Amino acid sequence: MQGRDLIDLDGQVALVTGAGQNAGRATALELARHNAGGIAVNDFVPERAEAVAAEVRAMGVPALAVPFDVTDLEAAKAANAAITAELGAATVLVNNAGMAGPGASIRPSQHFWEEDPAHWQRYLGTNLYGVYNCCFAFIPNMVEAKRGRIVTIVSDSGRVGEAKLAVYASSKAGAQGFMRSIAKELGRYNVTANCVSLSALLPDMDEDQRQQIMQGDHMRNLMTRYSIRRCGKSTDVAALVTFLCSNAAEWITGQTYPLNGGYAPSA
């Protein structure tokens, strides 16, 4: 005899930013599996957003592609209006878009005092202001409905620090502090706000590619800092985020959950 799904979104509509690939895509699909009333798929690349929305619709769950840049507040507001018209008001927000902005990647390179200050904004824009913008646009839905979930993907660099990634780390630390603060503002409306903090996460790839990367000298050395000696997978992120968005997590707020295989930073 099957019981009820403990991880139940109770028909709420969810927006997942940066959901056109990897962990964002996996999260959108996992939310759809657990009684979401609809999934809004954001990505900076319209074709990626629509491809994932089509996957969600194939599961029998309404979905809408909403391509926009999270650093643009007016675009976030417009997306909220479009989602409300098509799916209903979104009361679940997953701030997954991050890194160094669309099409960019991050690698430790220069000391902070050697950097070009013109590069700071690409980290602050997506990782901090992008979270501000989406929360500003979508929180009113939650306050009105008197229920909601916000989960922001952050980084262990923001929890423990990371050499030569100071601005990126500070943008992620800022997002954590922001989430703790709005958790205090939103509790009376039955809205929770939490973070999931990641360490090394590989993009989606087949197992042969994954094993090839894991066997390299750099990766083997890196894995000595992890109790579970593998990199994170998109499905790891999706599982924890979906739990935090569900009814099962209704008394959890203002927290940051490390999802990192027991990572211990070097000195």
Show which residues are catalytic. Answer: 168
Percent helix, strand, coil in the chain, to 5, is: 50, 15, 35
Contact, 265 vs 160, CB < 8 A? Answer: yes
Q: Assign 3-class secondary structure to 37-84.
A: CEEEECCCCHHHHHHHHHHHHHCCCCEEECCCCCCCHHHHHHHHHHHH
Instruction: Please answer whether residues 63 and 56 qualify as being in contact, where contact means their C-beta atoms are separated by less than 8 angstroms.
Output: yes
| Phi, psi (deg, nearest 5) at residue 150 | -125, 130
Beta strands in the chain (DSSP E): 13-16, 38-41, 63-65, 90-95, 148-155, 191-198, 256-259
